[in-house]
Amino acid sequence: SGFEPATLWLRVLVTILSRSHGDRNVYPSAGVLFVHVLEREYFKGEFPPYPKAGDASNDPITFNTNLKGYPDRPGWLRYIQRSSHSDGVLYGSPTAEHVGKPTVIEITAYNRRTFETARHNLVINIMSTEEFPLPYQAEFYIKNMNVEEMLASEVLGDFLGAVKNVWQPERLNAINITSALDRGGRVPLPINDMKEGVYVMVGADVQFSSCLREVETPQNQLRCSQEMEPLISCDKKFRAQFHIDWCKISLVDITKVVPVYRERLVPGTGVLPDVGEYNPPSEMLRSRDYFTDFLVTLAVPSAVALVLFTILGYSMCCRREGVVSSPFSIQLVHHSSIQKSTKELRGMSKNREISWPLSTLPVFHPVSGEVVPPLHPDNYETTSMPLMQTQTNLQNQVQIPQQQPSGTYVFFFL
């Protein structure tokens, strides 16, 4: 494949400690990934054996790591243990600030079956290196890996080999590994064996290859903005084992980054300088009267509140009629107007003069000429008299005598 075996890379570039043996010293390099595995098999010898043979391997063991004399670890050192039946891993990237300063990490193992503990010390002696820092750094986001899987020596070696094949540098270091959860990622659903994702930063001494630069082309930038996978020619060299999100790759040339210098304060002796004898203020000083300030502070807001309260009370109590009308009052006015109109119509209907309807005029026989008197008395109220009356109501109707059946007689009621 054109690159050295993974084991040789890990010997030079990454500090991997696969065993934990009591109080021991380790010598990681600044700017290079440091990994220390806490194996449960070793710590099982610190606890009494289980009464039943063959069950000792099932003891749940957890680890607690902290800087000696402090409750937590240094800021550059992280720890992960997926479950009480898996190994713990200490990992991180020490900085140049810690070079030459031994860091003692207390490792406490807890046996969850017997509630016993075992404690060992790990002394980390950070060494300086001439290659630190490497000028060209690339950070990859691998979607199908968890951080503890990536920290395994063989997996990390395979990834470094693939990067070397694509980049072709003379020196290549794994600088840091960070879980996607530490970058604000979400915990994946427990389906389809989904992974959390991990960020891996590597450094090299040569310019970025053309393959890595392909993600910066306008076409791939447009595809990333549309949440589409960019077209990278060297992706097939990773795809067999590592699924890389090329839209999240970060390429940094630290030689072009403007350094930010911070002035460090020189610590003093902790003793204040001698500026002479302290002279307290005299007891004859005149005390200040704050009564006027109190009145001004209290009177002005009170006056404004009183004016506002007066205006509000006048508006609500004295200006109600004609300004605001409730729906109920509007209904009362409407009902009153209807009632007045009804009374006026009734009065007008009683006082009007109406001509007699044709049914009340005299009726005569077309043959004999006999006249039938009107159907109503003179004092009958015209407004309540029906226009047509039935036979039962015709009390004053005069019957017209009928002739022989030799002829036909017709009565006309108009």
> DSSP string spanning 332-373?
HHHHHHHHHHHHHHHHHHHH---PPPGGGS-EE-TTT-PEEP
Q: Based on the number of CB atoms within 10 Å of its own CB, is 63 exposed (0-12), middle (13-18) or buried (19 or more)?
A: buried
25 band by pLDDT with thresholds 50, 70 and 90: confident
Report the alpha-carbon distance of residue 223 to residue 227 in Å, rounded: 6
pLDDT number for residue 46: 78
Q: What is the mean pLDDT of residues 94-122?
A: 87
Q: What is the mean pLDDT of residues 184-205?
A: 86
**Do 390 and 412 form a contact (C-beta atoms < 8 A)?**
no
398 band by pLDDT with thresholds 50, 70 and 90: very low
Nearest partner of 117 among 64, 80, 66, 39, judged by Cα: 64
pLDDT number for residue 129: 77
Token digits for 325? Answer: 């009308």
- Residue 31: count of CB within 10 angstroms of its CB: 21
Report the alpha-carbon distance of residue 262 to residue 265 in Å, rounded: 9
In the chain, the percentage of residues whose pLDDT exceeds 70 is 72
In eight-state DSSP terms, residue 19 is: -
pLDDT over 60 (residue 316)? yes
Note the pLDDT tens digit of each residue in 210-240: 989 998 899 999 999 998 999 988 888 888 8
Nearest partner of 412 among 381, 371, 356, judged by Cα: 371
Q: Hey, which CATH number is domain 134-259, 2.60.40, 1.20.1550, 3.30.70, 1.10.10?
A: 3.30.70
Q: Please tell me the pTM assigned to this model.
A: 0.56
pLDDT over 80 (residue 249)? yes
pLDDT number for residue 81: 92
pLDDT number for residue 53: 59
Average pLDDT, the chain: 77
Report the alpha-carbon distance of residue 111 to residue 130 in Å, rounded: 43
pLDDT number for residue 322: 53
Nearest partner of 126 among 16, 38, 14, 26, judged by Cα: 26
Indicate the fold that domain 15-49+58-129 takes in CATH: Immunoglobulin-like (2.60.40)
pLDDT over 80 (residue 126)? yes
Q: Tokens 């820092």 appear where?
A: 133
Note the pLDDT tens digit of each residue in 320-345: 655 545 566 677 778 888 988 888 88
**Do 198 and 179 form a contact (C-beta atoms < 8 A)?**
yes
pLDDT over 50 (residue 50)? yes
**Do 196 and 175 form a contact (C-beta atoms < 8 A)?**
no
**CATH code 2.60.40.10 region(s) in the chain:** 15-49+58-129
pLDDT over 60 (residue 387)? no
Q: Collapse the DSSP code of 66 into the 3-class scheme (helix H, G, I; strand E, B; otherwise coil) and give the result.
A: strand
What are the distances in angstroms from CA 69 to CA 24, 73, 95, 126? 18, 10, 21, 19
**CATH code 3.30.70 region(s) in the chain:** 134-259
Q: How many residues does the chain have?
A: 414
**Do 103 and 66 form a contact (C-beta atoms < 8 A)?**
no
Residue scoring higher pLDDT (53 or 16): 53
Q: Collapse the DSSP code of 247 into the 3-class scheme (helix H, G, I; strand E, B; otherwise coil) and give the result.
A: helix
Report the alpha-carbon distance of residue 230 to residue 222 in Å, rounded: 9
pLDDT number for residue 310: 93
